[in-house]
Amino acid sequence: MNGQFTIEEVVMSLVGPIRPIGDSMEDAERLANLKNLCDTVDELVKHIDTIATHNKDRQEWSMKIAGQYADKFLSDNLGIKE
C-alpha cells in the first residue's frame, strides 16, 4: 500500500474490533463496536436511499445516473426494493 487508507480501513479503525473471541469482557466491547458499526451503516444506507429516491427519475442526466446507480446498489447489493 502507498500510505493511503481505504474508507473501510478508516471506519474499521475508528469503530474497533467487532468479531467476538469468546472472552465475555472483551466481547461486550466488541458487541458495542458492532452496534456502532450497524448504526453507521444504517445512516449511510439512508443517504444512498435519499439519492435513489430523489434522483432516479430526474430529467437531468447527471442526477438521474446517480439516482439509478444508488437504486441499483440498494436492490442488487442489499436486496432493498422500492
In this predicted structure, the answer to whether residue 76 has a pLDDT above a threshold of 80 is yes
Residue 67 lies in a domain: yes
What confidence tier does 78 reach under pLDDT thresholds 50, 70, 90? very high
Residue 74 lies in a domain: yes
* Structural domain count of the chain: 1
Residue 44 lies in a domain: yes
Residue 2 lies in a domain: no
In this predicted structure, the answer to whether residue 66 has a pLDDT above a threshold of 70 is yes
Q: What is the pTM of this model?
A: 0.86
Q: For residue range 11-35, what is the model confidence (pLDDT) as tens digits?
A: 999 999 999 999 999 999 999 999 9
Residues 6 or more apart in contact with residue 55 via CB below 8 angstroms: 63, 64, 66, 67, 68, 70
pLDDT, average across residues 6-12: 96
Residue 31 lies in a domain: yes
Range of the domain at 34: 7-78
pLDDT, average across residues 51-79: 97
Residue 3's pLDDT is: 79
Residue 18 lies in a domain: yes
Other Cβ atoms closer than 10 A to 74: 19
In this predicted structure, the answer to whether residue 1 has a pLDDT above a threshold of 70 is no
